[in-house]
């Protein structure tokens, strides 16, 4: 069972493919159902702080690899169904080999289905693509894992993540220079745009610095940004072949949704936390979570305090750290709250930040925290200042 639980991710994609293609309102109901499944699972299933030992680790890598072809099928279906000029040849292939009737799905789809199918595809690219991609691009000694990780990130046009996150974010977490660390009271929508732009800029600066050190031209097949863009472009071209120009735009929308959701996760993982420049990264500089359903779906990225303490650990090796600062709710709950109910997100997190300042922060960190409190615009933090 301890192996099988991590296969819930590819199983969910398969269920999405067949459920959403079954008729009207199935896409709408599936999106709502899977969201409630994760959120309520985090609430009612006892937190999992176990640190299991595994002898067959290839069985833990396999579900991440499987996600790539499954996501390719899901993205292709979404592009076909929602585009203006879909490829009938593609529909025939899926009908003959997977028994999926895309023509019937296209004819029966409703407006709400169109909206929720797009949202579902973006969400799944984020959960089943970006998150395992994040896990794999940390494995710098494994060429195959790096290869698969970058292809998973290609769905969201996020090759910058493989560079900036590994070589930038892990060094600068908690500092004002880190694009993935949100300040107290920071607007979530402005944060998403700021983070996306700055991560791209920082990733190119990292590549430029490494190219100079290696005495290589910036634009070469050793440039990870250049290669990453080509991978994303190849998936975009497949979307164009399946759905024409409108299909291309649909895929780019799904990719943007996935990238935005990643930034919302970043926003939640380090919201308001402070680190003094030059000081080591400790477990207290990340919001941790041992919520069961989120941990299973997100390959334990929820154990973020351990991940930032030792980024070389594989996801099943991460420590639960019950004494680290904890998120008040599960990951998907915090994601939806930050995105759609930011007032309540700030109010909930303000209480956690006061607790962090009192129980976790050093004296130097408290001084910096007070400065952010004064600029936050959050009543509880202003009163605490």
Three-state SS letters, the chain: CCCHHHHHHHHHHHHHHHHHCCCCCHHHHHHHHHHHHHHHHHHHCCCCCCCCCCCCCHHHHHHHHHHHHHHHHHHHHHHHHHCCCCCHHHHHHHHHHHCCCHHHHHHHCCHHHHHHHHHHHHHHHHHHHHHHHHHHHCCCCCHHHHHHHHHHHHCCCCHHHHHHHHHHHHHHCCCCCCCCCCCCCCCHHHHHHHHHHHHHHHHHHHHHHHHHHHCCCCCCCCCHHHHHHHHHHHHHHHHHHHHHHHHHHHHHHHHHHHHHHHHHHHHHHHCCCCCCCCCCCCHHHCCECCCHHHHHHCCCCCCHHHHHHCCCCCHHHCCCCCCCCECCCCHHHHHHHHHHCHHHHHHHHHHHHHHHHHHCCCHHHHHHHHHHHHHHCCHHHHHHC
**Band of residue 212 on the pLDDT scale cut at 50, 70, 90:** confident
- Please indicate, yes or no, if residue 39 is contained in any of the structural domains: yes
- Predicted pLDDT at 51: 87
**Band of residue 189 on the pLDDT scale cut at 50, 70, 90:** very high
Residue 25 pLDDT more than 90?
yes
- Please indicate, yes or no, if residue 342 is contained in any of the structural domains: no
Report, as an integer, the average pLDDT of 201-217: 87
Mean pLDDT of the chain: 94
**Band of residue 218 on the pLDDT scale cut at 50, 70, 90:** confident
Q: How far apart are CA 254 and CA 68, in angstroms?
A: 15
- Predicted pLDDT at 211: 80
- Please indicate, yes or no, if residue 292 is contained in any of the structural domains: no
- Please indicate, yes or no, if residue 358 is contained in any of the structural domains: no
- Predicted pLDDT at 215: 76
Residue 357 pLDDT more than 70?
yes
Summarised one tens digit per residue, pLDDT across range 62-90 is 999 999 999 999 999 999 999 998 999 99
- Please indicate, yes or no, if residue 295 is contained in any of the structural domains: no
- Please indicate, yes or no, if residue 344 is contained in any of the structural domains: no
Give the structural domain span for 18. 4-280
**Band of residue 384 on the pLDDT scale cut at 50, 70, 90:** confident
Q: Considering only residues 224 and 255, tell me which one the structure prediction assigns the higher pLDDT.
A: 255
Strand-pair partners of 288: 326
Six token digits for residue 269: 């993982």
Q: Considering only residues 221 and 15, tell me which one the structure prediction assigns the higher pLDDT.
A: 15
- Please indicate, yes or no, if residue 299 is contained in any of the structural domains: no
Report, as an integer, the average pLDDT of 233-248: 97
- Please indicate, yes or no, if residue 53 is contained in any of the structural domains: yes
**Band of residue 385 on the pLDDT scale cut at 50, 70, 90:** low
Three-state SS letters, 292-345: HHHHHHCCCCCCHHHHHHCCCCCHHHCCCCCCCCECCCCHHHHHHHHHHCHHHH
Total tally of structural domains belonging to the chain: 1
Summarised one tens digit per residue, pLDDT across range 86-138 is 999 999 999 999 999 999 999 999 999 999 999 999 999 999 999 999 999 99
Report, as an integer, the average pLDDT of 235-260: 97
């Amino acid at each position: 069972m301890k192996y099988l639980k991590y296969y819930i991710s590819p199983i969910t994609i398969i269920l999405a493919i067949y459920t959403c293609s079954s008729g009207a309102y199935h896409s709408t109901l599936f999106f709502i159902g899977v969201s409630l499944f994760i959120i309520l699972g985090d609430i009612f299933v006892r937190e999992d702080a176990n640190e299991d030992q595994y002898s067959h680790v290839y069985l833990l890598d396999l579900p991440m690899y499987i996600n790539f072809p499954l996501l390719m099928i899901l993205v292709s279906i979404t592009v076909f169904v929602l585009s203006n000029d879909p490829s009938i040849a593609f529909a025939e292939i899926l009908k003959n080999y997977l028994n999926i009737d895309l023509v019937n799905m296209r004819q029966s789809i409703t407006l709400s289905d169109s909206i929720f199918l797009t949202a579902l595809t973006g969400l799944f690219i984020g959960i089943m693509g970006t998150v395992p991609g994040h896990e794999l691009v940390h494995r710098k000694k494994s060429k195959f894992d790096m290869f698969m990780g970058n292809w998973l990130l290609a769905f969201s046009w996020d090759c910058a993540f493989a560079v900036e996150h590994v070589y930038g974010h892990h060094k600068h977490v908690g500092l004002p220079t880190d694009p993935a660390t949100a300040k107290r009271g920071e607007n979530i929508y402005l944060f998403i745009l700021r983070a996306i732009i700055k991560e791209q800029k920082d990733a190119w600066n990292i590549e430029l610095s490494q190219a100079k050190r290696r005495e290589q031209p910036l634009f070469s097949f050793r440039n990870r940004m250049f290669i990453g863009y080509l991978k994303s472009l190849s998936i975009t071209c497949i979307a164009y072949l399946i759905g024409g120009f409108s299909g291309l735009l649909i895929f780019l929308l799904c990719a943007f949704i996935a990238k935005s959701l990643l930034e919302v996760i970043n926003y939640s993982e380090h919201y308001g936390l402070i680190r003094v420049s030059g000081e080591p990264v400790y477990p207290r500089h990340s919001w941790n979570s041992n919520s069961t359903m989120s941990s299973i779906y997100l390959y334990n990225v929820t154990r973020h305090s351990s991940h930032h303490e030792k980024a070389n650990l594989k996801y099943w090796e991460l420590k639960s750290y019950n004494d680290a600062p904890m998120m008040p709710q599960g990951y998907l709950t915090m994601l939806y709250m930050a995105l759609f109910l930011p007032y309540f997100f700030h109010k909930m997190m303000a209480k956690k930040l006061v607790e962090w300042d009192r129980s976790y922060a050093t004296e130097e960190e408290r001084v910096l925290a007070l400065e952010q409190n004064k600029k936050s615009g959050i009543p509880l933090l202003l009163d605490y200042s």
